[in-house]
Structure 1
Amino acid sequence: MLFRSANKLSILFTLIAIACIVIMFFLGFWQLDRKYQKEDRLAQIEQRKAANPMLVQEVADNPEDFVDFPLLVTGNPSNQTFFVDNRLKNGMAGYEVLIPVETNYGAVLINLGWVPGTGSRAELPTVTLPNSNEFEGVLYVPSDNVMISETNFNYGSFPVLIQQIDFDEIAKHLGKEVLPFTVRLSPDQNLDFLREWQVVVMEPERHLGYAIQWFGLGIAALTIFLLTILKSMQGRQD
């Protein structure tokens, strides 16, 4: 009975060890795949950056196909300002500031850039809005973070503090539809806003580093596992 229980435990530990080793190598290959994806994205950004600016009517129907392309927006800007909360730069809390620009093809959200917070969440920063009818930047489609819930339902009262760029919520505040993309303005258009746009969350080199760590852990675990089996077999022969 004791031998049978010990044998069952040995099989269980073996299965757990194999599963852990497989997971470690899987995570290593996954990190390598993420590295290649980031490299492709960065190469795409550099390639598209050199293209001539597109116009709103060319991208309005399928904005996802034109992410990272330069875009020229001509229209009437509004002072209806949106502050996107919890944006960090160099360890400092602040906001990204958006305004709608009315064009002949719909309202376009212009991301003016980042500004630091005031130190009090009850007081939004005072910003100087650009005096221009032309805005040039890069087309960007923000992803929806399902972990973030909107809290500002005081529709029509500006400036508006929002938790993320949610086009449906922004449309409710404006009382009209907006096109489902934003324009991240070029860095040289207004010095009042910081425009160090983060194109990828993690650089490819960091993914490579994580891959090496997972492969190292997998190799170490596999080595220990094989040595344990070898020692067990030797013990039985003795």
Structure 2
Amino acid sequence: MFALANWQLQRGLNKAQRVASIAAASSRETFTLEQIKFYQGDIQDLPIVISGTLNRAHILLLDNQIHQGRPGFGVLGIANSDGQNVLVNFGWVAGKRVRTELPTVALPNTVSGALGRIVLPSNNPLITETATLDAEWPKVIQQIDMRFIEQVLQVKLEPFLLTLTENNNPQFVRKWQPVVMPPEKHYAYAVQWLGLGIAAFFVYFFALRNRLKKVSNEEHQ
């Protein structure tokens, strides 16, 4: 329980640091892909603008994305801008009642001056990828594994995801939310685990003391 309290505390501190980083990034000017290549600092959450052509034939659907309690998919596509291939998150679409029936998604031919944020995806070792290297599209993926996506598409991708933030396409829901659970909630969980740990310690302490008393009395009889 004490370990869980410490874990929640560390998560809260990390979230607070991320919130501060987002606030700092929001105050910066909007970058282009060319500028990002020469940027020396942390690119996470930086605002970015992109123009380029889209690969409409190869669409990835990120599974298990929830919006207002409704299951759906994150729609991912590839934008080519001046020879750079970038994975773009176009937003959320609702899933069908029958899970095997995928939503119909149509991407435009190009994007022009599209605004977004840079996201550095991380692999979750507890998630098992179910997509295969076949010719079936759109392809449902379980997480954003850049290496796997490069294998599927046979292209070299920039090492980040561009999440579009402008809500100018009624086909998608675009609600950029980098921090789902605020730091304060993690701190509250840390206090709860700490309280339970202290309570368990005192229960153990008094139970052990009573047991030792009982043993001592039996020895003196």
Q: What TM-score does the superposition give when structure 2 sets the normalisation length?
A: 0.84
Matched, 1:217 2:196: yes
- The structure-2 alpha-carbon separation of the partners of 1:64 and 1:159, relative to structure 1 and needing over 3 Å to count, comes to farther
Match of 1:141 in 2: 120
1:25 equivalent to 2:2? Answer yes
CA distance in 1, matches of 2:2, 2:39: 38
- Aligned equivalent of 1:172: 151
Aligned to 2:187: 208
Residues 113-170 of structure 1: per-residue CA shift (max 9 Å, x gap)? 0000122233221224245333210000111122333333354443222222222222
Number of residue pairs the alignment of both structures matches: 215
More helix by share: 1
| 2:111 is the alignment partner of 1:97 | no
Does the 8 A contact of 1:148 with 1:163 survive in 2?
yes
Aligned to 2:177: 198
CA distance in structure 2 between the partners assigned to 1:145 and 1:233 by the alignment: 47
Q: RMSD over aligned Cα, in angstroms? A: 2.6
Is 1:132 the counterpart of 2:111 in the alignment? yes
Q: Say whether the 8 Å CA contact 1:187–1:194 is kept in structure 2.
A: no
Distance in 1 between the 2:212 and 2:125 partners? 52
Distance 2:15 2:33 in 1: 27
Same amino acid, percent of matched pairs: 35
Question: Do the aligned partners of residues 148 and 27 (structure 1) sit closer, same or farther apart at CA in structure 2, a change above 3 Å counting?
Answer: closer
Q: Distance in 2 between matches of 1:60 and 1:161?
A: 30
Q: 1:19 corresponds to which residue? A: none
* Post-superposition offset of 1:232: 5.0
Q: 1:182-197, aligned counterparts within 5 Å?
A: 182-197=161-176
Give the secondary-structure state (helix, strand or coil) at the position aligned to 2:204: helix
Q: Is the 8 A contact 2:165 2:176 kept in 1?
A: no
Give, in whole Å, the separation in 1 of the partners of 2:166 and 2:160. Answer: 19
Q: State whether residues 133 and 151 of structure 2, in contact with CA within 8 Å, keep that contact through their aligned partners in structure 1.
A: no
- With over 3 angstroms needed to count, the CA separation of the structure-2 counterparts of 1:63 and 1:77, relative to structure 1, is farther
Q: Answer yes or no: is 1:38 the counterpart of 2:15.
A: yes
Cα shift readout 1:20-68 (whole Å, capped 9, x = no counterpart): xxxx333223322221211111121122122111111233478992010
AA at the equivalent of 2:70: M
Show the counterpart of 1:9.
Answer: none
Preserved CA contact (<8 Å) 1:69 1:138: yes
Tell whether the 8 Å contact from 2:54 to 2:107 is kept in structure 1 after alignment: no
Of 55-64 and 72-81, deviating more is: 55-64
Identify which range, 93-102 or 220-229, moves more after superposition: 220-229
Q: Specify the code of the residue in structure 1 equivalent to 2:45.
A: D
Aligned-partner residue type, residue 228 of structure 1: A
Instruction: Report if aligned partners of 2:167, 2:173 keep a CA contact under 8 Å in 1.
Output: no
* Partner SS, residue 137 of structure 1: strand
Q: TM-score, normalised by structure 1?
A: 0.78
- The 1-side partners of 2:43 and 2:117 are apart by 9
Give unpaired runs (5+ residues) of structure 2: none
Matches of 1:231 and 1:149, distance apart in 2: 50
The 3-state SS of whatever aligns with 1:225 is helix
SS state at 1:65 partner: coil
